[in-house]
Amino acid sequence: MARKSIIGSGGRFIPAVLAAFFLLGAAAPPAAAAGPPDGVLSLMPVPAGVAAGEGRFRVDEGLTIGGPAPASGRAFRAAARFMSRLAGRTGLFLRQDFLAAQDPAGDGGVRYAFERAGALAPNEDESYSLTVEPARVALAAKTDIGVLRGLETLLQLLSADEAGYYFPCVSVVDRPRFTWRGLLIDAGRHFQPVDVVKRNLDAMAAVKMNVLHWHLTEDQGFRVESKVFPKLHQLGSDGMFYTQAQVREVVEYAADRRIRVMPEFDLPGHSTSWFVAYPQYSSAPGSYAIERRFGVFGPAFNPADERVYPFLDAFFKEMAGLFPDPYVHIGGDEVEGRQWDANPEIQAFKRKNGIADNAALQAYFNKRLLKLLAKHGKKAVGWDEIFQPDLPKDTVIHSWRGPQSLVEAARKGYRGILSNGYYIDLCQSAAFHYLNDPVPADSPLDESQKALVLGGEATMWAELVTPETIDSRIWPRTAAIAERLWSPASVRDVDDVYRRLGRISIELEELGLLHIKNRGLLLRRLAGGPAIEPLELLAQAVEPLEGYKRHGQAAYTSLSPLTRFVDACAPESLEAWDFSRAVDRYLASRDPVLGAALGRALTAWKDNHPRVLALLAASPALREIEPLSLGLARSCEAGLEALSVLSKGEGRPAAWVEAKTEVLTDAGRTAAHAELAVVEPVAKLVRACAGAVK
């Protein structure tokens, strides 16, 4: 049967059979009919201050954009990109030759102004003011960075009615809450080509993130060309590395979007790939090979070997010339320590120098390393294991094990950034990330200490992603993290952020991201043909195992295929979220219209099982999902029974509830490295039936 698709809640394409449910189930903005236009309601991140005005600025082919002369520089190039994206969204043949010259100064069109070029450094001014009036759009900022941020807001304001496209009249005064709003991309465990990095830089700019943390060395690969020590990338990368020309290209591309690029060279641990070329600098003898497994491994630099420091000095001198950012991330996490314990020379070195334990030995190594970085004009960022006594105060503590290290660092006068709670590779919900705050309301820090918390970073560790799937693991959930780091702390409405996630997801796709498109690619590959509608419908109810549970399902290595059904499923199903919230509203209201929509959704999922089975016969790779499909069908049967009971105002005895709960428990078991995301909301319907039988 042919499938018709419409835009569901938040702009998600969904099968027509579920459309009625999702349109009803989506969280509607309060007083939408009388409130601000949709463009204002959909801004992400939410600005610091926004006030809706009266009227509309109409967008037509005669639209012009202009700024200060000369027509060059980053603000001008951002204006050119703005016009190109605007033309792409509207289909308008804009007449201004914006690539060659700007419109002369005047009162009409879009006008931007700034006082100076902004520096690519923490604490630079990114504020802007944006005023949309019926005849004019004015964007003003202290720096050109503010202009870039304001243009993204203006593009998000684009709306449409029966007369065409327009920007709603509005006044925005905006600035970021935190100065450090980053995304870590791990190219060590699975290499991510330049095009992956660039499209994610575009997405970062769209949601006002400003730091790319580029994780370049790992046990599984050394990913940057060194002309001083060429064996590093020649022997430690499987031929997959960034040339220095490519690094400069990425750095320049990011700078044009006012995004800093901070490299990470992880040491003294997580360093196997260094020793493939230079085993003499490790803490244990022998030859080394690139690690294919994932986890924490023994190889580590030898802090007692004086030859290590000239080697690192020369290496970081070269890298300092390649990466202009004031910071270098030195890693420092998860030093396993067994090589140090087994090395007699290291043990003798510790005794001679009064070094009590391996933590103190790592602190010694870090102090030597930080002096080398300072020599080359760099300051260090490191994971919270480096937070040891006598650490230089200009070192930034990167908290991954828990927020307490951030608090302790600030109390001792250190700046810090938070990633604990922003590990997007763990397939946790956008709500979980969104409510995770670098400086929560109950923070024990005083105001001066809070100012030392620079912000946070979403971390895209790459054990289980490839260039085909990485975008889907980053977006759109990272947009929620971007809002947490930009918007005022008082902006915390979880339902509203989900309402806007769908729209921003579609808008990000225009930048070349594959988070939506590649689900179909992966499913068509598995099905061996274009008939994937049953798989798409099942995928809406399925999510990958959360946390590190997926690693317990198979012996994943850097060579394992990441092309299975679980890889096509979103880390968090926005459709399942809509379903769950609709169940909550139904149980609170017993609205028969919403109940009928829930029934249609449950029926569609239940009836999908035979269609899935028909595809499995021709695809051995898909047969592992049969328990998921069967479990979904049985869950939906229980849900439909519960809806019938509730719609009649009846109840069921405890034995009935217990029996249905057993069905749901069985249906919810892990399969194909994934789990059903709709079992718990169905269980709510079942539990609500408990009571006297009428």
Could you list the active site residues? 334
Residues near 683 by beta carbon (within 8 Å), at least 6 away in sequence: 661, 664
User: What DSSP line would sit under 451-466, residue for residue?
Assistant: TTEEEEEEEE--TT--
- Rounded Cα distance between 22 and 24, Å, is 5
Of the chain, the end-to-end C-alpha distance in Å amounts to 41
Reading the block at residue 537, the tokens are 């419908």
Question: Which residues, including other chains, have CB under 8 Å from residue 162's CB and lie 6 or more apart?
Answer: none
Are 75 and 144 in contact by the 8 Å Cβ rule? The answer is yes
Q: How far apart are CA 690 and CA 694, in angstroms?
A: 12
Pick the closest to residue 219 from 163, 270, 144, 182 (CA basis): 270
Tell me the CA distances in angstroms from 160 to 26, 143, 224, 557, one per residue in order: 21, 31, 46, 48
In a 3-state reduction of DSSP, which class is residue 379? strand
CB-based contact 58:132 (threshold 8 Å) = no
**Residue 70 CB neighbour total at 10 angstroms:** 9
Query: Which residues are 171's β-sheet partners?
Result: 51, 131
Q: Based on DSSP, count helices (H) and strands (E) in the chain, helices before strands.
A: 27, 21
Specify whether the CB–CB gap between 641 and 650 falls below 8 A. Answer: no
DSSP alpha helices (H): ranges in 447-573?
447-450, 470-474, 477-486, 494-509, 517-527, 533-539, 565-568
CA–CA gap between residue 176 and residue 212 (Å, rounded) = 17
